[in-house]
Every structure is written in C-alpha cells, then in structure tokens.
Amino acid sequence: MKKKWLLLLLSGLMLVTIGCTKNEQKESVQAPALVVGMELAYPPFETKDAKDNPSGVSVDLSKDLASYLGRPVSIVNTNWDGLIPSLQTGKIDVVISSMTITAERGEVIDFSIPYAHSYLALLVNKQSKVQTNDDLNKEGIVVDVKKGTTGYVYAKKYLTNAQVNALSSENACVTEVTQGRADAFIYDQLTIYRQSQVNEDTTRAILIPFQNSENWGMAVKKGNTDLLHSIDAFIVDYQKNGGFERLTQKYLAKEKQTFDTLGFPWFFSTEQK
C-alpha cells in the first residue's frame, strides 16, 4: 500500500515538474523587439530626459505601438540622414521620427496613414525686416534650413533670390537666427513656437501657415505590408481611444491652447485645411 502511494506521489510530482517546465518555456519565448529608429534631437517629440533616456511624444507613441503589437520596444537613436538607410538594411523595423510623408521618400520606403499634420512657419530675428514668407525671396535675405527637411525643399524651390544655408541641426539654425547671422529659420509650427518662447529676447515667430499641411507618418521597409497594416490599425485605434489627446496633455498642452487661441488647426487633428 505504501509503495502504491509512493508511486502516485512521484507521478504527481513529475506532472507538476513537466507542467512548470512547459510554462517556463512559454514565458521564455518572447516576441522580438520592435526596433524603432528616431533622431533624439527634436524636443518635445524625440529627445532625452535628464538621465539620458529616450523621451518625448514619439517615444511614448513607440511604446504604445509596441504594446499594441504585443512586443517589447527598442529605440535606436539614429542621425536623420541615416533613418531611411537603416530601414532599407533592416537595422530598424520602423521610423517614428516626425517624418513628413513625401512622394520622393515614398519611392524607397512605405508610409503609414498620417498620424499628425504640420505647417511650415518662420523663426525670425527681431531686427530683421522679414514680416511674412513673401519677404524671404529677396537678395540680402539669409534663410537657414535643416538639411533633408521639407523646409529645405521649400527654400530650394521658392527662395532662389535669397541666400539659403542648409545646416545639419535644428539648434544650429536657431543659433544663427538668435545671433543675427540669419534672418529666418524655416521649420514646423510647433518647433518654431517653442523656440520663440525660449528665445523671446532675440526672435519672433511667424506662425501663419504659408503652405498646405504636411502629413507625418510612420515608415517601414518597402514591401513590409504586414507590419504596415498593423501600424495603420494601431493609429486608427489610438485616435479613436484618445491616445493623441493624452500625448497632447502630457507634452503639448500650452501649444494646444495657443493654437486654439490663434485659430490654427491642431497638430493631431483629423480635419486639416
């Protein structure tokens, strides 16, 4: 009788051990990380906190996307001009870095549906005679733009009489304007507003839109349709469930209030002019 009970006890222990082993195996099989590329030099969207960790709107958005997909997230700080090559070579899965959807970029990468909309604006030195974008295309006017941006494209196309300086970073462009070496810096409305607040003694912002809105999208490697469709579904769900409103309240509440006062379309609004 004792032997019988002993056999039953051993059998039970074996089943428990096997069950635990299977559960441990399940827990150890984790979905691969969603590798997100962004340039951490564009607050409040892509930046670093006091501990040098990725922070900002796009970082939170990346984390929420990864959670939606059931994957951990890995954020890779990548220079702006290296983002598309990193997608093409498979170093990253997706770009979430305030990237404007353009036909030229769409030839080499695939974009999601838009999740944000932006307009170009001007950061102007207070001593400059520039009052509107119409004042830019004149001899003697110096305009700074960041390389590879839509402001750069605009300047090259329309400002043939001005001196256009293409610099490598936003900060360099802002410094040129604050120190009076450039009349204006062309960039998106939100950044121009924030920079004018930081540098209110030396600059002023011209926020009135002078182009149709530009759409921001997430980008994947050409042909990665499975991930692209999942991202599109996430954006729709995120908009529906107030995700972009939460990002606005956390990072852009003051800007939203100002834009509402000026009657400008909001950045995350689905209704654009």
pTM assigned to the model? 0.78
| CATH architecture of the domain formed by 120-206 | 3-Layer(aba) Sandwich (3.40)
Cβ contact 144:184 at 8 Å? yes
What is the amino acid identity at position 12? G
Residue 118 has pLDDT above 70, yes or no: yes
Phi, psi (degrees; rounded to nearest 5) at 85:
-60, -35
Cβ contact 252:44 at 8 Å? yes
pLDDT recorded at residue 218: 98
pLDDT recorded at residue 18: 47
Q: Can you tell me the mean pLDDT for 30-53?
A: 94
DSSP string across 144-160: EEETTSHHHHHHHHH-S
Residue 273 has pLDDT above 90, yes or no: no
Q: Can you tell me the mean pLDDT for 109-136?
A: 95
| CATH architecture of the domain formed by 34-117+213-262 | 3-Layer(aba) Sandwich (3.40)
pLDDT recorded at residue 264: 86
Question: Which tens digits make up the pLDDT trace of 163-221?
Answer: 999 999 999 999 999 999 999 999 999 899 999 999 999 999 999 888 888 899 999 99
2 confidence band (pLDDT: 50, 70, 90): very low
Q: CATH 3.40.190.10 region(s) of the chain?
A: 34-117+213-262, 120-206
Residue 53 has pLDDT above 70, yes or no: yes
Question: Which tens digits make up the pLDDT trace of 139-148?
Answer: 999 999 999 8
Q: Can you tell me the mean pLDDT for 230-259?
A: 96
Residue 15 has pLDDT above 90, yes or no: no
Residue 226 has pLDDT above 50, yes or no: yes
pLDDT recorded at residue 29: 66
Q: Which residue has the higher pLDDT, 31 or 127?
A: 127
| Residue 113 parent element (H or E) | none
Residue located via tokens 């990468």: 109
Q: Which residue has the higher pLDDT, 52 or 14?
A: 52
Cβ contact 206:132 at 8 Å? yes
Residue 93 has pLDDT above 80, yes or no: yes
Mean pLDDT of the chain: 89
Side by side, which strands form the sheet with 203-206? 163-167, 142-146, 184-188, 120-125, 203-206
Q: Which residues contact 39 (CB under 8 A, 6 or more apart)?
A: 46, 77, 78, 79, 80, 83, 97
**214-252 burial, b for 16+ CB within 10 Å, e for fewer?**
bbbbbbbbeebeebbebbbebbeebeeeebbeebbeebb
Residue 59 has pLDDT above 70, yes or no: yes
Q: Can you tell me the mean pLDDT for 36-51?
A: 95
The three-state secondary structure class of 91 is: coil
Q: What is the CA radius of gyration of the chain?
A: 25
271 confidence band (pLDDT: 50, 70, 90): low
